[in-house]
Amino acid sequence: MSDGLTLLSENKCFGGTQQRYSHYSKYLNSEAIFSVFMPPVSTPTVGVVLWLSGLTCNDQNFVTKAGAQRVAAELGLIIVCPDTSPRGEGVANDEAYDLGQGAGFYVDATERPWSDHFKMFSYINIELIDIIKERFSDGKKVAISGHSMGGHGALISALKATEHYISVSAFAPIVNPVACPWGQKALAAYLGENEEAWREYDACELLNMRSAAFTLPILIDQGASDEFLDTQCLTKPIESASNLGLIDIRYQNGYDHSYFFVSSFIEDHLRFHAEHLSAM
């Protein structure tokens, strides 16, 4: 295609289309893949929800497990789902599930061998956001959401690239990565041992630094039976990170960390974003 995107697949879905694209990313220095749900042409489009997935996922996990298309078709929401990291031959990797391919952590790596490809923050918030606005949304506003590592990515994107987003939500987000095993491992590998650099990708730290200037509405759902709730510092630390009153945090009894949890509450999140996107 003339804009550099190659359509890999397209399926009819709730009157709209579920598409998958590849393109060369200058920030990832590799091919990148993302999925897009386009609502029916008969439904007025109110905006875009950019979804960031968690550890071990790619662009397809949300597409096939969240059950979001029915509501997105009703509300006129475009949903864009990128991969969680660069991939391919020549891209650095690790044998562990929580580092390397499938675990980009939405940061711009500065340490070798990761710095050659792992520029996920810039890919999402510069390159992909430009593609969305130019190719899919006709300049309409964007909201951002995510799960676990992707919830971390959504929050730091909204806090660091606020000009792009109208609202932000998260499921079971890693909100304080400087203090949890997943975050400490990834940030040390990608950014080195200087913990000041880590804080620039920590939602709690960013809220404390920038709360006076941050006005985006935030919705967070957390499973109360999530096996990682305490061990990975999910959600709880952000309760005291800001007194803005903009954060709606809901603990859902009996729910764990899986996509069963995400699919149970994704309609709430899409309606939350549609309300704010429609108001602009």
Active-site position among 152, 226, 269, 273: 226
Q: Which residues contact 136 (CB under 8 A, 6 or more apart)?
A: 36, 38, 48, 78, 80
- Mean pLDDT, residues 258-278 taken together: 97
The pLDDT assigned to 212 comes to 56
241 pLDDT above the threshold of 80:
no
| pLDDT of amino acid 209 | 80
Assigned token pair, 155: 């929050």
Active-site residue, selected from the candidate residues 35, 145, 148, 242: 148
Give the SS3 label for residue 206: helix
169 among known catalytic residues? no
Q: Which CATH number fits domain 6-278: 3.40.50.1820, 3.40.367.20, 2.60.120.10, 1.20.120.80?
A: 3.40.50.1820
Q: Give the span between the Cα atoms of 217 and 221, in whole angstroms.
A: 14
* CA pair distance 167, 277, nearest whole angstrom: 8
Q: Cβ(154)–Cβ(144) under 8 Å? A: yes
User: Is 3 among the residues known to form the active site?
Assistant: no
What does the pLDDT look like over 101-132, one tens digit per residue?
Answer: 999 999 999 999 999 999 999 999 999 999 99
Domain ranges of the chain: 6-278
Predicted TM-score (pTM) of this structure: 0.96
The catalytic residue among 257, 269, 273, 276 is: 257
Active site residue 94: no
Rounded CA-CA distance 196/81 in Å is 30
* Among candidate residues 203, 160, 157, 159, the one with its CA nearest the CA of residue 179: 203
